[in-house]
Amino acid sequence: MDKLIQLEKILNRYVDLGDGKRNDVRVRTTEKYRNVYSEQQRLELEKEYRTSTFINAIRKSELSTQLHLTERQVKIWFQNRLKRREI
């Protein structure tokens, strides 16, 4: 329970305040860290996903710049979103 409270404090302190800038919140899972995307980043990624389920290199680069994410993060988000749709 203490770890949950600590995590909540960290998230409240560092999660995006709505300006869309890159948030460097990293949540430790078993052996990896994962990024927590801001609401604006998720909305923009979802909007792009509804337009096209597969993203090309040019659009991936544009989105990563716009959302202050790496191209790899955008690529992985699309891969994960596609898998979620299949379930």
pLDDT digits (tens, 9 = 90+) for 9-24: 555 554 444 555 555 6
Give the pTM. Answer: 0.62
Looking at domain 37-86, its CATH superfamily turns out to be Homeodomain-like (1.10.10.60)
The residue ranges of every structural domain in the chain are 37-86
Distances in Å between the Cα of 65 and the Cα atoms of 3, 31, 36, 56, 57 are: 34, 28, 17, 14, 12
Residue 34: per-residue pLDDT: 76
Residue written as token pair 């596609």: 82
First to last CA, the chain: 31
pLDDT: which is higher, 12 or 30: 30
pLDDT digits (tens, 9 = 90+) for 41-76: 999 999 999 999 899 999 999 999 999 999 999 999
Residue 24: per-residue pLDDT: 60
- Which residue(s) pair with 27 in the sheet? 34
Residue 73: per-residue pLDDT: 96
Residue 16: per-residue pLDDT: 46
- Which residue(s) pair with 29 in the sheet? none
